[in-house]
Amino acid sequence: MKQETKYWNVDKFVDGLENYPQVREAALLLRQNELIAFPTETVYGLGGNGLVDKTVEKIYIAKGRPSDNPLILHIAERKQLGELVSEIPPLAEALMEAFWPGPLTIVFPKQLGVAMRASAGLNTIAIRMPDHPLALALIRASGLPIAAPSANLSGRPSPTTAQHVLEDLDGRIAGVLDGGSTGIGVESTVVDVTGDVPMILRPGGVTAEQIAEITGEVRMDPGILEEGVAPKSPGMKYRHYAPAGDMRLVKENSVEEMVRRIRKLAHEAQAQGKKVGILATAESKLCYGEDYVVIACGKRSDLISVARHLYDALRRFDQEGVDMIFSETFPESGVGAAIMNRLAKAAGGRYL
């Protein structure tokens, strides 16, 4: 049943955010087991009381999210870990010291009694402390660990503005706290520290290279799950971040070859009557001419800008009503690993 979705515009630089009337109202709704979207430094999250299974179930329903896809609990104080985890491994201590608050989610052994729905029935739980003043104020004001996946319909590009949230979830949730555009633009890195060597389950705002500086060794999960095995982290199992148009990734030995091949593929698709979109960069945008919907997601020379604008670019293709999207690809080092992870998920792993 459709509900009123309240909208609050909050200046994230205001002092005493926890006592800001809009934040207090949103926190009260969270304590009443309603759902509130709020900004973090990565993307907007869809928050609910992470300790109550029925509330967590409402998150899955609002998003249309598969029930075996776990959620991340967001905290504002280290002391909150005491009621959520059964153990804090030394690797976790080192990573928290280096990257919290920030875009790093850590998978811990779970405390008994934590909502089973938040962890999709696993004996582990994913937790992070966001580096955003409004997110931290909301968590503190609510007094709760907040379960919060990205605030979008499941499978859609994640939201980096409050308007993106409303496009997907208006009428499905109780409210949206608007704290402006997010900074990083892709979700947090998820690292599992329950084994001997830290395992990155999802690349994101903290790079593998940064983690290795702290832990000495780090492995990347191969991303292959056996049938019937629940993922330990969001973003591992299902198609995500996808625009409505059919998307393909184009990989060549050089940028020049890649641009030439995309131009050829776009011409062929247009000849078949399709409205074609091209995901480009600022450096290459003018190479494609004016016959297609060409959207630059940032600068190839600055992959942080690509990460920041990626989801907005994918949503703009939907607004343009394109049928087929050809995307440039990027080096898979540093933040490029997170960018290519999201693009591969958006395209369903389809490369040309």
Q: In what order do the strands lie in the sheet with 72-74?
A: 6-9, 175-178, 36-39, 44-49, 146-147, 72-74, 124-128, 104-109, 189-192, 199-202, 219-220
Strand (E) positions, 80-167? 104-109, 124-128, 146-147
Q: Hey, what are 244's tokens? A: 């409505």
- What count of other Cβ atoms lies within 10 Å of the Cβ of residue 342? 26
Annotated binding residues for ATP, as ranges?
65, 69, 124, 150, 158, 202, 241
- Rg (C-alpha) for the chain, rounded Å, is 20
CB 209 within 8 A of CB 69: no
Give the Å distances, CA to CA, from 191 to 31, 125, 181, 253, 308.
Answer: 29, 11, 25, 31, 21
Annotated binding residues, as ranges?
42, 65, 69, 74, 124, 128, 148, 150, 158, 188, 202, 241
Beta-carbon contacts of residue 182 (< 8 Å; ≥ 6 apart): 39, 40, 41, 42, 43, 44, 132, 160, 161, 308
Q: Hey, what are 315's tokens? A: 């949503």
Annotated binding residues for L-threonine, as ranges?
42, 74, 128, 148, 188
What stretches of 82-158 show up as alpha helix (H) in DSSP?
A: 90-99, 133-142
CB 171 within 8 A of CB 178: no
Half-sphere exposure of 178 (CA within 13 A, CB side): 12
Q: How far apart are CA 173 and CA 189, in angstroms?
A: 26
